Amino acid sequence: MSNQVPALPLVNVQIDGVWHQFPKGTRVIEACAQAGAYIPRYCYHPKLSSPGNCGMCLIEMGMPRLGPDRKQDLRSDAKPLINWILRHQISFAKHVV
């Protein structure tokens, strides 16, 4: 019997126009830091809960737009169209889905 932990599936995420892969469940603020995109923060600490009281780490977030065939709708340059969330999101309270 082995004690190996199964690897989490990787999820494609676009940060500042560049695609990256992260394990499912990674916090968005941590994914951005790994990609080299600094997000200012005040009330964030990796070992604490996610209160989001200060609002300093707000980000724009969206998901790819899907067509009736459940495939991504693409722009003329073959990049996906994005359905943006109407309000800014707290970056450390959101996880890579």
Residues 6+ apart with CB under 8 A from 75: 81
- Per-residue pLDDT of the chain in tens (97 residues, 90 and over written 9): 567 766 789 988 889 889 899 999 898 999 999 999 999 988 888 787 777 778 888 999 998 899 999 998 988 888 888 899 999 998 888 888 6
Helix (H, G, I), strand (E, B) or coil at 30: helix
Tokens 């923060």, located at residue: 41
- How many CB atoms within 10 Å of residue 10? 13
What's the CA gap between 11 and 49, in Å, rounded? 23
What's the CA gap between 19 and 51, in Å, rounded? 28
